Amino acid sequence: MRSNDVIIQTATKAVTFIILLFAIYIFFAGHYTPGGGFVGGLLTAGAIVLLMLAYDIETVNRILPVDYVKMVGVGLLLAIGTAAASIVFNVPFFTHAHDYVQLPLLGETSLHSATLFDLGVYLVVVGVTMIIIRTIGEDA
């Protein structure tokens, strides 16, 4: 299915990147302001869906050759791995660690192991959403 929708395609080129950047911002901001892995993941998926609407599934698959099934697996491993890593440090399962460090350019920043867990959530959400949409879209 080749569509010839110039306006939406041109707009998509710009908007997709804005959405993606916003998704990344929201993902990292989640610990202090609204956002987080779940919403970030959904936004990312939304950006990809927008691409699919503007172009078509085959084109998007070519642009983003991602195996979403593997993505879900990696996300789950990351999430459970973060939770299980606490066992190595002899603290109960799911204990998160955080600390403040000085980073170049960014200055004082707080680092959380919870972010890794959230990254797992992010990956799973993107993966699952895309699996659902692609599977149903390709079937249709």
Partner 1 sequence: MTPVYFIFLPLIFALFVPLLFKKLPQLHTGWFVLAAPVILAIYYASFIPASMHGETVISSFSWIPSLDIAISSYLDGLSLLFSLLITGIGALVVLYSIFYLDKNREQLHNFYVYLLMFMSAMLGVVQSDHLISLYFFWELTSISSFLLIGYWYTRDRSRFGAMKSMLITVFGGLMMLGGFILLYVMGGTYSIRELIVLAPELAVHDFFLWSLILILLGAFTKSAQFPFYIWLPDAMEAPTPVSAYLHSATMVKAGLYLVARFTPIFAVSSVWVWLVTGIGLLTMTWASFFALRQRDLKGILAFSTVSQLGLIMSLLGVAAVAFHVEDAAGTVFKYASFAAIFHLINHATFKGSLFMVTGIIDHETGTRDIRKLGGLMSVMPISFTLAVIGSLSMAGLPPFNGFLSKEMFFSAMLSLTEFDVFSFDTWGILFPVIAWIGSVFTFIYSFYFVFNTFAGDYKPDLLPKRANEAPIGMLISPAVLAALVVILFFIPNLLAEWFIKPAVIAIQPFLYESPEQVDIHVAAWHGWYSTELYMTLGVYLVGGLMYWQLHKWQKIYNVFSDTYSLNGLYDAMIYFSDAGMNRLSRLYMTGFIRSYLVYMFGFLVLITLGTLAITDAFALDFTGTSPIRAYEVIIGLVLVAGTITILMAKSRLTAIIALGAVGYTVALFFVIFRAPDLALTQLVIETISVALFLLAFYHLPQLSRHEERMPFRIGNALIAAGVGVTMALVAFSAHSQKSIESISEYYKETVYSEAAGGNIVNVILVDYRGFDTLFEITVLGIAAIAIISMIRLRLTRKENPHEK
3-state secondary structure of 3: coil
- Cα 83 from Cα 117, distance rounded (Å): 7
Sequence-distant (≥ 6) Cβ neighbours of residue 28 within 8 angstroms: 35, 115
Exposure string for 34-50, b = 16+ CB within 10 A, e = fewer: ebbbbbbbbbbbbbbbb
Q: Does 5 bind partner 1 (CB under 8 A)?
A: no
Taking CB under 8 A as the criterion, which residues in 23-82 touch partner 1?
26, 30-39, 42-43, 45-46, 49-50, 52-53, 68-69, 72-73, 75-76, 79-80
Q: Does 94 bind partner 1 (CB under 8 A)?
A: yes
Interface ranges with partner 1 (CB under 8 A): 26, 30-39, 42-43, 45-46, 49-50, 52-53, 68-69, 72-73, 75-76, 79-80, 83, 94, 96, 98, 110, 112, 114, 117-118, 120-121, 124-125, 127-129, 131-133, 135-140
